[in-house]
Amino acid sequence: MCFALLACDLDGFQNINDNYGHLAGNEMLKRVALVLQENCRGTDYIARMGGDEFVVLLAGTAPDELEDRMRQLDRMVRVASREICGEEKGGISIGTACFPDDGNEAETLLAHADNDMYRAKRARKAGVVVQLPRPAQVA
C-alpha cells in the first residue's frame, strides 16, 4: 500500500478545441472532472491544476489497484471523447509518484509524477504502448 499521486493530462485536448470548438472543450473538461470524481473513494482527492491537467491523490492504494484504475480512467475519457466529438479524439496520459519511494515532499512527488506523465504522453504520441505504472516504482 502506498500514498499515490497521479498527474493527468488530456491527450488531444487542443485538437478538440480547434476542431470542435471551445464549448466541446469545456464539456470535455467537465466530463473528465466527473469521471475522476466518480472513480474516487471518500479518502481520495482531485484537483484541476490548470488547462487540461488534473492531479489525483490516492491514499492506501495497492499497485494492482493503481494500474487498474489508470486503465479505467483512460477508457472512460476515451468514451467521453466519443460522446462529445462523435469520434475518439482524446485519452488521458497519467504519471505516478508514490510516497515515500519517490519523495517525501509534495513538490518532489508532483515533479516525479509530472515527469512520468510527460514520458507517457511522448510514448503515446510515438505509438508506443505504455504500461503504467512501472511496478518497481509503485511497489
CATH 3.20.20.370 is the classification of domain 2-128: no
HEC readout, the chain: CEEEEEEEEEECHHHHHHHHCHHHHHHHHHHHHHHHHHCCCCCCEEEEEECCEEEEEEEEECHHHHHHHHHHHHHHHHHHHHHHHCCCCCEEEEEEEEECCCCCCHHHHHHHHHHHHHHHHHHHHCCCCCCCCCHHHHC
Domain ranges of the chain: 2-128
- The mean pLDDT value of the chain amounts to 86
- Active site residue: 11, 44, 52, 102, which one? 52
CB 130 within 8 A of CB 92: no
Which residue did the predictor score with more confidence, 46 or 40?
46
Active site residue 44: no
Average pLDDT on 9-29 reads 93
Of 5-14, 59-68, 85-94, the one with minimum mean pLDDT is: 59-68
The pTM is what? 0.84
